[in-house]
Structure 1
Amino acid sequence: MIDPKKIDLNKLKTQLQVKKPWDIIIISFLNLVITFPIFIIIHHNVIDPNWPFSLDRILIFLVVFIVIHFVLNAMRTFMMIAILIYFFVLIYGSIFGNYGFNSVVEDYNSMVYTMSDSPYPQDIIIAKLLPFPNKSKILSAIEYENPKVRNFAIMATTKHFRNLKGYGDYRTIIQCFAVFKEINSRWNYVHDPKEGDYIATATESLLYFSGDCDDHSILMAACVRAIGGTPRLIHTKGHIYPEILIGSMEDLEKVNYLIKNELFPRESAKKQLHYHIDERGQVWMNLDYTAKYPGGPFLFEEILGALTLN
């Protein structure tokens, strides 16, 4: 006698299976997505025997590809459920502003970038998947649409570098550097209460230009954003500081000239600029309160997290 439960189970398995040839296409795509980062990890942790034409690396890639293929092939029965759940979660995250499709692409780019032979090891964001400290409070405190914040930023642009001519393509960056000059020339470092972190809003910090590193970063980011710049906050061990998006390496060369010869010649004399390059190849320059000029020395090198204001 045939057990009806077995019939139902077989029927369910048949319904959940991806039909041919889509099963092969999906498995091949997932195989490549998974194989590539695993291969990079192995590549960086296995001694290179210097075989001709890098045959050892080709062999490693093929072995990883075949193993992942067999694993995915064994899971094909319930692949449709897994894919549907995965896409549902990403669609939900994209709609409600949480972890969505864009986040997946950015994290995959970051993962591949940080596994590669990057000439900028300080760019490796170790805690890419860990929460930025006090993220929600900090985002709320960056009041770049507040009239007081914008008016202060505008005041700084009229006070510094207003008469500099001939650099129209870099007007916004020059004006953001004017904000940097005004804030950093007035900033007074004051510790938080002993009970814990006190997150001051940008408008609070405008009253006395005093506070700790996160208060300075919030004010700087708000003012830079208020006049069209793109700031981000960098979290290191026990410290947070702001950076500004410069653009490409070509943009960096021109900004370097401006800082060295037009804007901060005395402060930056015989000193180098400090910056980071992200996974997209974009240059970000240090605007910390400890810096006397944009691109001043980092207080801490190792990045633990980044919070970008788009």
Structure 2
Amino acid sequence: MIQFGKLNYQQLRDKFKINSPWDKVIIFILSVLFTIPIFLIGHQNLIDFNWPVQLDRILLFTLIFVIIFLILKAIRRITLISIIVYILFLIGGTVFGGYGFKSVFEDYRSMMYAMLENPNPQDLIISKLLPFPNKYKILNAIEYKNPKVRNFALMATNKHFRDVKEYKNEYFTLIQCFAVFKEINSQWNYVSDPKGSDYIATASESLEYLSGDCDDHSILMAACIRAIGGTPRLIHTKGHIYPEIYIGKKSDLEAINYLTKKVLFPNETKGKTLHYHIDERGDIWLNLDYTAKFPGGPFMSEEILGALTLQ
């Protein structure tokens, strides 16, 4: 018989055995604890079938729970060891910056919020689009390396959301880009171009009065966002140009949805839905138009003709 110090295997197994009915209670609680992180991984990586009341996700959670419950029930004699292993795993993630207690809480909260307040995809941006009008003039006008442009962006990051701690590590740059959006869109004054011409102002020129038409706003927004490490793009429709910002993949959308609506723009988003585009690579882009009061505000519902991404 295998010996462990002064205890053999049978004695060690009996030592960790938990008597009924507490073994069933602990197995149930432990099954829930194990199910949550596994479900979150599946939820973020499996196809969303968009069934009514998120029925596909409810079935997924139930299936994972039943499997884990049956496994733990089969090895109930070492339930205490399972509890210790699980807690040590989360403690390790918390201490060393991995997946810990806070990560489980934030992911689960964001997921539940997104299931109740589901963002709204508008349309799929395909790769075959028309040439972008005035492309090279616009690229030259996006002066993201201009000191005035960067200093303006820095001022915005110090003025807005500086004390936000939530999601600061993972979405630090994006939060700062949202600060730039807030500063520009809260002050932007729409002014038309000279009659009969398409005047394209540089980013530094638009800074002086925070005024201009839609392409001037888009150029300034894109320049400021790129100046602090964000990834913007410009969208061209039949009669309009507006900026968007890259936020990540579908797995990032739940966190951004919660962050935008509950932390950064709670008043502006009250009772409203986030709108976004998905391109052919599965990348998600939020609307930053001057008509939007928050990132992901409603689009102007015009057909998209071109897209200019700024890497």
| Length-normalised TM-score, structure 2 | 0.60
Tell me the distance in 1 between the aligned counterparts of 2:156 and 2:122.
35
Map of 1:1-310 to 2, 5 A cutoff?
A: 122-125=123-126, 128=129, 130-167=130-167, 168-310=169-311
Q: Deviations over 1:92-137 (max 9, x none)?
A: xxxxxxxxxxxxxxxxxxxxxxxxxxx9673245862x32011010
Equivalent residue number for residue 114 of structure 1: none
Tell me the distance in 1 between the aligned counterparts of 2:241 and 2:148.
24
The 3-state SS of whatever aligns with 1:166 is coil
Tell me the distance in 2 between the aligned counterparts of 1:236 and 1:141.
20
CA contact (8 A) 2:288 2:297 kept: yes
* Runs (5+) with no aligned partner, structure 1: 1-118
CA contact (8 A) 2:126 2:280 kept: no
Q: Which amino acid aligns with 1:206?
A: L
Q: Deviations over 1:134-166 (max 9, x none)?
A: 101000000000010000000000000000013
Q: CA 1:120–1:295 in 2, change beyond 3 Å: closer, same or farther? A: closer
Identity over aligned pairs, percent: 74
* Runs (5+) with no aligned partner, structure 2: 1-119
Tell me the distance in 2 between the aligned counterparts of 1:175 and 1:203.
19
CA contact (8 A) 2:245 2:287 kept: yes
- Give the drift of 1:184: 0.2
Tell me the distance in 2 between the aligned counterparts of 1:183 and 1:121.
24
Over the aligned positions, Cα root-mean-square deviation in angstroms equals 1.5
CA contact (8 A) 1:234 1:305 kept: yes
CA contact (8 A) 1:172 1:227 kept: yes
Pick the structure with more helix per residue: 1
CA contact (8 A) 1:126 1:304 kept: no
CA contact (8 A) 2:124 2:279 kept: yes
Aligned residues: 191
CA contact (8 A) 2:121 2:277 kept: yes
CA contact (8 A) 2:278 2:284 kept: yes
The 3-state SS of whatever aligns with 2:262 is helix
Q: Moved runs in structure 1, 4+ residues, more than 3 A?
A: 124-127
Tell me the distance in 1 between the aligned counterparts of 2:284 and 2:127.
19
Tell me the distance in 2 between the aligned counterparts of 1:147 and 1:233.
22
| Length-normalised TM-score, structure 1 | 0.60
The 3-state SS of whatever aligns with 2:242 is strand
Tell me the distance in 2 between the aligned counterparts of 1:231 and 1:124.
15
Pick the structure with more strand per residue: 2
- Give the drift of 1:195: 2.3
The 3-state SS of whatever aligns with 1:186 is coil
